Structure 1
Amino acid sequence: MRCLEGLNDQQQLAVTKCDSNLLVVAGAGSGKTRVLTHKICYLIEEMGVYPSDIMAMTFSNKAAREMKQRITSMLGTHEQPYWIGTFHSTCLKLLKEFHMQAGLTPQFSIFDEADQLALIKRVMKEMDIDPKQLPPKAIKWHISSAKNDSTDFIALLKQENQMSSKAIEVVEKYQAQLEQNQALDFADLLIKMIKLVQTNAQIKHSLNQRWKYILIDEYQDTNYIQNLLISELKGPDTTVIAVGDEDQCIYTWRGAKVENMLEFEDHFAPAETVKLDQNYRSTKPILDAANAVISNNVGRRKKELWTEKTQGNTVDFYHAEDDYAEARYIIDQVEDRYRKGTPLSDFCILYRTHVQSRIIEDEARRRNIPYRILGGTRFYDRLEIKDIISMLKLLTNPFDNVAFERVINKPTRGIGPKTIQNLRDLAQQLGTSMLQAIPRLKGGSKAHKGLGEFYLAFQKLSETAFEDRPTTITEKLLEKTGYLKALEKENTIESEARIENIEELLRTMSDFEEQTGGGLIEFMDQVSLSADADTKDYDSPMLSLMTIHNSKGLEFPYIFIVGLEEGVFPHQRALEENDEDELEEERRLCYVAMTRAEHKLTLLAAARRKLYRFTMYNPLSRFIEEIPEHLYHTIPNPQLIQKTPNWRGGEDSHFDTFSQLSEMELASNAYKKNMVTQKKRPHSNSPYQPGSFVQHPSFGRGVIKQTEGPDNNLKLTIQFERAGIKKIMLNYV
């Protein structure tokens, strides 16, 4: 059977087991995508299941596309399951199908994060709320977080009692105006679908019978709402098959519930579990070190990855004297191997936070090593693309006031805030949209003329918006609105780049037309759900730098992990809260980073790291200590001739410029004792924490004894070696 060709025994078991709900615990590099695609092919080819009876949900459009391509390639036919897509695209399809029952128009809008923020700001302006007192981004974060955890998210926010009554009122008006705009934000796509199934028995019965198999990729990343959606769509005769790995759950900060993995057998009982623990990516030394680290987590199933690649380079550990030396060592290694014929695209440097990249970037530039940082601004988030997409949204949904307000003055038409407010008030009085209210607005100023021209242009464009190809209507829109002409007039490097991006958008539309034959509505749906970073070409000959979060799902022959120090990795936030769940997440991050390496893994730490105006002396990361010494090789560093306390208060190698060793040990031990006994505090991203060692330009070396105030107005009490105790306002150092 070709559906089983090339699979090991565990993979074959996962593919052929079809008689019960199934959790496939797929370790890093164990071939989970291969198992998913082979499973779907097996169901169709060997079990006789109709493609329309299978649903597969992924977390990215890229993963969905690749799955479809693999299935088509294996089956040798263009027939493939229609229901392969992300959670959001699946719900979008269903809501389009049942829009009447859901109380929606066929052309309802989807609000992305920028649209959400714009609507929140508008609501706050209407309520005369100062954004400095109540930051719109904080409101948006609370909304998104609550919508991940409950279908009645406003009740949850009230129950949690973390927001003021005024903030709750903003949330309520935000949701009301979403409905007024005939719009849903991303979370609403799922919530609306869940509520529809829960309240409409006919639709529930229909959907419960629609799919015989529901497959979920990256199950460890599902949140409460996503798991609830699966439960609601599953009928009595539906088999749920989830593939994931709790050891790679690194997104709890955006709602992922590792409990979904750990409680699958109970939630979808009766259920069975198959473990995939043969790794095809890394060598044995790398896996042994990674297994040693992750085995310290409690919230996991016991498993150890193994590989047939028993030979391989030992994991290296280099303890640099400072972060500059750390960067120099990495670029030395890259440069040496590059000169010997290894392409730069084989190397990747991973760090916990973006701020760590600068010194590495500087060193790479200094040595003429081309590099790129993966995880920048996405194509569809760029200013000019957002503008054009908003114009297209307005063409397809004239009720979208957020899109209207974004583009009404692009290019500038002399329409000021007062005119916009008058139009907004009139639209509310008439119970219509701002666009449709323009003819009823009285006046004869330049602003009114600009509004009239805008209205006539959109009226003309709307006549053929649903008939013309997306490229044709967009070209007309660029001409009628004068958007492209305004950019050409600027004649700057920036405007040229914006024009190139617009041309790229038109090429994207053209490709979409050729591949799908779809119109503007279908293209807009695809754009709204697009979550892929633009232009990710991992084969180009450049050194790669990225955060560990951005490395998920990638692999490189050579991996460098920097900053393995307490307070850096694991992050200070996990330490200051003394939160085992957060520490376990940090450990999972470390495991994910280590298992990106195919041939060689190098771990690095700096004995001294400069952050802002202070030099920090952090103990070595606990993750280094969790690896048995025989599993890694320490690269000698003659600059480190003394000892420094590790995170437990013991000693590790250190450099020779801090002579008061006993003070450091005492401070470190006191710090660790404090970390165990302190109560939870609000999250802080400040690197300045009690017990941290610092270097002041005037007072010299010292240890932080106490911190007071918020991060942006921090007061430090520091015990200096020579100057004694000083209280310092960080902003005035």
Structure 2
Amino acid sequence: MTDRLPLMDPSDWTDGQRAVVSSDARAVTIYGSLRSGKTTALMARAIRCARDIDPEETVYVFANTGTGAETRRSMIASHDAAADIVVSTVTAIAAHILRRLGDDDWTLTHPEADQARVGRILEAMGYNDLSESPYDVWRELIVQAANGRDRTVPPSFPLTDEALAEVRTRYDATLDRTRTLDRARLVQRAVEHLERAGESPVRVSHILIDDAENLSPIEVLLLQALGPESVTAAVNPEACVMASLGADSTAVIDWFDSIDDHDRVWLAAAKHTTPILDAARRLIEEESSSSDRATSRGSDTLPEGRVEKFSAPSASAEQDRILGAMQERVEARDGGAVNVAVVAPNQSLRDEIADRCRDSDLAVEVLGRPWHGQETILDVLSYLFVLANPHDDPHLFRVINRPSRGIGRKTQARLREYAAGRDLSAWEAIDRARSEGALSSRARRVLGAFREMVEPLVQHARDASPADVARAVLSDTELLTPVTRGRTREQIEREERVEWFLQDLPASGDIDALRPFLDSIALGFSPTDRTAKIQIATLREVRDVTARLVFVFGLEEGRLPATHAVRRHAFIEQEKRRLAVAISRAESNTVLSWAKSRGTGRRQEPTTRSRFWDLLDPVPTCDGSWESGNDYRASLRTKQASSRASTRPTDEDAAAIEAGRRVEHPKLGAGTVQDVKMDGEKHVATVTFDDRGTKTLNLRYAPLTLLDA
């Protein structure tokens, strides 16, 4: 789904885009509003730069995320000059620099794991009733690191400067103990190395930055340290969506303004606008001077779409309506690519709608969370992180009891407490506890068995290719068991996905090949689901979405804007900009929605419509132009009934099932019939399944198939 943004034919460029491509200045700043053609001009300029460089030099294009980099790479894939262009992110180049300089005894952390760390630190310090969540404290730590300097916290922040400094000290100590880095500290370390070395191990001739308003000051310092011959940036200061994590458009603008040979090009929005862009502009005001400084793009190059909105009585009804529209498009395209995106306000709702899609047999690509719902692959990845860095506590605790080996939550909690009290990683704490006789004898036994199982794999990872290491993990840890045995439909599909994953791993090399691969996974460059037809993202990843039909759901107070944003005006403005960007991603239709109640089961709580809802007026209530009006639940019940009817055994089939016969159940797998008898009017069979034990089944309904017919 990364082929949606083909590079425009030069004959379709505007005067402003031509000015960008033809400029010979050392610095070029491209200013433009949403959908003004900044990315097209930037990538075309990258191709021109690549044609003029020496063979030893490289052109670098930077996007905000790994998915965004892959999308921009696809725009130029067919051009001859693409081989000399590296499309990446600033954090990825920081990781590459550290590896090249020999600083490679670390792995990258995931933001969710970092937030959990901050939560445990706050709990240890006695802050159990903060008015702000650990997420807010973690975000403040990231902002401080991203700015490269200490910052006075806002007056409304619940921790004093001294308390926050203590949290930061403990947080940094945890990162050091586990030999891990978050993204801000990764860039910081790269900057420090370059300052000490005096030169970069990477030869960069030209740097081009898309969505440069989302760069943090420390990232700008890293790009400056690379010493490029020329720099180009596409900027829309009104669309910064990463300010709450330290992004500051003034940092990159000040850098470019300090360069004497500097061209500034304004790309105006279309004079003949569309309803989609109208709605986006109602949320963020555009610079009045923009339209006076450049030629507008013709209406024929912009989507002729519309924006609609609807409310639903409950979250399930809201999702049903969205799922019904997506299901219809999948069936109408008969297996072809379906250009639909769903944008959720937060990760929880993103994962919820992704699970609903998978339950409905809709293949989805979850931006920011590769292989969502594919637990076996995620477990293998966590094992690989542990093999590259056994001190990586977040990944170690994910797999320490997967598959189950008797290391429950209480044992894990005691291990965490023991490790923290001695300033050790969990890996070191296991060995220390065994030598000191700490913890219970049973805990020492099961933890020791886990370490003894992992240690040979750690040694194997030093010399074997990542693909071979992953296969060894699947075999030695018995993660492979639920993939290959039973041969039910679900297991066959899971086995195919695992095989795709193994094919994407480097088939040669050693630990030096494994570590960069894990860096790419942590930074969002992972391969996507090859069967995916629908993209699902949060507002943070929304810039990487481009689809004909875009759904933005969950427009409720506390979700959009989020609770933490409501406390600060600056964050309210950021949430508004994110919504505007989400609306602008559609090529045909954008559909906005909110649910009047949300919860699980009978525990439904009323919600309040987002304050942004009325700002979008006049946006019509949905007239159904994007859906057929079919009731999704009714159609799903019909399909389920049809499926049950097709798998229900006939009387002849039931009569043929007798003791000793081999049978197969679509969910329970293969097994042997032990006994068949009548229980009243029911024909009941006792079957011992190979992997699921002995079950008693009613032959009138159980979808058993004879294997030895």
Task: Name the residue aligned to 1:89.
Answer: 92
> Does structure 1 retain, via aligned residues, the 8 Å contact 2:146–2:216?
yes
Counterpart secondary structure, 2:79: helix
Task: Name the residue aligned to 1:450.
Answer: 446
Task: Name the residue aligned to 2:24.
Answer: 18
> Does structure 1 retain, via aligned residues, the 8 Å contact 2:43–2:72?
yes
Task: Name the residue aligned to 1:718.
Answer: none
Q: 2:84 aligns with which of 80, 86, 89?
A: 80
Q: 1:460 aligns with which of 456, 461, 486?
A: 456
Matched, 1:109 2:107: yes
Identify if the C-alpha distance between structure 1 residues 88 and 118 changes in structure 2 by more than 3 Å, giving closer, same or farther. Answer: same
Task: Name the residue aligned to 1:59.
Answer: 64
Counterpart secondary structure, 2:460: coil
Q: CA offsets per residue over residues 342-386 of structure 1, 9 Å max, x none? A: 99946667676799999999x999xx9989796685427965545
Aligned residue type for 1:80: D
> Does structure 1 retain, via aligned residues, the 8 Å contact 2:42–2:232?
no
Task: Name the residue aligned to 2:240.
Answer: 249
User: Is there any run of 5+ residues in structure 1 with no aligned partner, and where?
Assistant: 638-733
Counterpart secondary structure, 2:221: helix
Q: CA offsets per residue over residues 242-269 of structure 1, 9 Å max, x none? A: 1232343333333332445765653555
> Does structure 1 retain, via aligned residues, the 8 Å contact 2:63–2:209?
yes
Cα deviation for residue 39 of structure 1 reads: 1.9
Cα deviation for residue 166 of structure 1 reads: 5.1
Matched, 1:596 2:585: yes
Counterpart secondary structure, 1:274: strand
Task: Name the residue aligned to 2:257.
Answer: 266
Task: Name the residue aligned to 1:178.
Answer: 175
Q: CA offsets per residue over residues 558-586 of structure 1, 9 Å max, x none? A: 55777999x6998497997694x556545
Q: Aligned equivalents of 2:414 and 2:427: distance in 1? A: 17
Task: Name the residue aligned to 1:389.
Answer: 381
> Does structure 1 retain, via aligned residues, the 8 Å contact 2:467–2:505?
no
Larger deviation, residues 392-401 vs 297-306? 297-306
Task: Name the residue aligned to 2:615.
Answer: 623
Q: Aligned equivalents of 2:122 and 2:558: distance in 1? A: 37
> Does structure 2 retain, via aligned residues, the 8 Å contact 1:401–1:434?
no
Counterpart secondary structure, 2:78: helix
Counterpart secondary structure, 2:545: coil
Larger deviation, residues 293-302 vs 592-601? 293-302
Identify if the C-alpha distance between structure 1 residues 475 and 601 changes in structure 2 by more than 3 Å, giving closer, same or farther. Answer: closer
Counterpart secondary structure, 1:228: helix
Q: Aligned equivalents of 1:431 and 1:615: distance in 2? A: 42
> Does structure 2 retain, via aligned residues, the 8 Å contact 1:487–1:499?
yes
Aligned residue type for 1:396: A
Task: Name the residue aligned to 1:190.
Answer: 187
Identify if the C-alpha distance between structure 1 residues 87 and 577 changes in structure 2 by more than 3 Å, giving closer, same or farther. Answer: same
Q: Aligned equivalents of 1:118 and 1:336: distance in 2? A: 36
Higher relative contact order (CA 8 A, sep 6+): 2
Counterpart secondary structure, 1:107: coil
Task: Name the residue aligned to 1:440.
Answer: 435
Cα deviation for residue 234 of structure 1 reads: 3.5
Q: Aligned equivalents of 2:472 and 2:531: distance in 1? A: 32
Task: Name the residue aligned to 1:476.
Answer: 472
Q: 1:218 aligns with which of 206, 211, 221?
A: 211
Q: Aligned equivalents of 2:142 and 2:61: distance in 1? A: 24
Larger deviation, residues 170-179 vs 581-590? 581-590
Cα deviation for residue 425 of structure 1 reads: 7.7
Identify if the C-alpha distance between structure 1 residues 430 and 354 changes in structure 2 by more than 3 Å, giving closer, same or farther. Answer: closer
Q: Aligned equivalents of 2:421 and 2:306: distance in 1? A: 68
Task: Name the residue aligned to 1:424.
Answer: 419
Counterpart secondary structure, 2:300: coil
Counterpart secondary structure, 2:57: helix
Identify if the C-alpha distance between structure 1 residues 4 and 551 changes in structure 2 by more than 3 Å, giving closer, same or farther. Answer: closer
Q: Aligned equivalents of 1:464 and 1:598: distance in 2? A: 49
> Does structure 2 retain, via aligned residues, the 8 Å contact 1:423–1:437?
no
Q: Aligned equivalents of 1:95 and 1:342: distance in 2? A: 46
Counterpart secondary structure, 1:241: strand
Cα deviation for residue 189 of structure 1 reads: 0.7
User: Over the residues paired in the alignment, what is the CA RMSD in angstroms?
Assistant: 5.6
Cα deviation for residue 24 of structure 1 reads: 1.5
Q: Aligned equivalents of 1:412 and 1:369: distance in 2? A: 28
Q: CA offsets per residue over residues 434-484 of structure 1, 9 Å max, x none? A: 365476344893433334433333332233322222232222233333444
Q: Aligned equivalents of 2:327 and 2:389: distance in 1? A: 57
> Does structure 2 retain, via aligned residues, the 8 Å contact 1:207–1:233?
yes
Identify if the C-alpha distance between structure 1 residues 522 and 349 changes in structure 2 by more than 3 Å, giving closer, same or farther. Answer: closer
> Does structure 2 retain, via aligned residues, the 8 Å contact 1:37–1:71?
yes
Task: Name the residue aligned to 2:141.
Answer: 143
* TM-score normalised by structure 2 residue count: 0.66
Cα deviation for residue 388 of structure 1 reads: 3.1
> Does structure 1 retain, via aligned residues, the 8 Å contact 2:357–2:363?
yes
> Does structure 2 retain, via aligned residues, the 8 Å contact 1:20–1:270?
yes
Cα deviation for residue 22 of structure 1 reads: 0.7
Q: CA offsets per residue over residues 598-617 of structure 1, 9 Å max, x none? A: 34567x789x9567655868
Aligned residue type for 2:585: R
Matched, 1:309 2:313: no
Cα deviation for residue 91 of structure 1 reads: 0.3
Within a 5 Å distance, the mapping from 1:201-216 to structure 2 comes to: 203-204=197-198, 206-207=199-200, 210-216=203-209
Q: Aligned equivalents of 1:117 and 1:481: distance in 2? A: 29
Q: Aligned equivalents of 2:385 and 2:144: distance in 1? A: 27
Cα deviation for residue 392 of structure 1 reads: 2.3
Counterpart secondary structure, 1:48: coil
* TM-score normalised by structure 1 residue count: 0.64
Identify if the C-alpha distance between structure 1 residues 633 and 74 changes in structure 2 by more than 3 Å, giving closer, same or farther. Answer: same
Q: CA offsets per residue over residues 529-575 of structure 1, 9 Å max, x none? A: 226695386746xxx8876655434344455777999x699849799
Q: CA offsets per residue over residues 148-172 of structure 1, 9 Å max, x none? A: 33x245x656999752555543331
Aligned residue type for 2:206: Y
Q: Aligned equivalents of 1:339 and 1:498: distance in 2? A: 23
Q: CA offsets per residue over residues 111-149 of structure 1, 9 Å max, x none? A: 222442454466567x47575669654543332232233
Identify if the C-alpha distance between structure 1 residues 552 and 107 changes in structure 2 by more than 3 Å, giving closer, same or farther. Answer: same
Identify if the C-alpha distance between structure 1 residues 314 and 90 changes in structure 2 by more than 3 Å, giving closer, same or farther. Answer: closer
Matched, 1:286 2:275: yes
> Does structure 2 retain, via aligned residues, the 8 Å contact 1:563–1:569?
yes
Task: Quote the sequence identity (%).
Answer: 17
> Does structure 1 retain, via aligned residues, the 8 Å contact 2:465–2:509?
no
Q: CA offsets per residue over residues 412-432 of structure 1, 9 Å max, x none? A: 444535873697389759999
Counterpart secondary structure, 2:471: helix
Q: Aligned equivalents of 2:22 and 2:53: distance in 1? A: 13
Cα deviation for residue 297 of structure 1 reads: 4.9
Aligned length: 600
Q: Aligned equivalents of 2:31 and 2:394: distance in 1? A: 43
User: Is there any run of 5+ residues in structure 2 with no aligned partner, and where?
Assistant: 1-6, 599-603, 625-709
Task: Name the residue aligned to 1:37.
Answer: 43
Q: CA offsets per residue over residues 597-636 of structure 1, 9 Å max, x none? A: 434567x789x956765586899955345x6xxxx88999
Q: Aligned equivalents of 2:588 and 2:597: distance in 1? A: 31
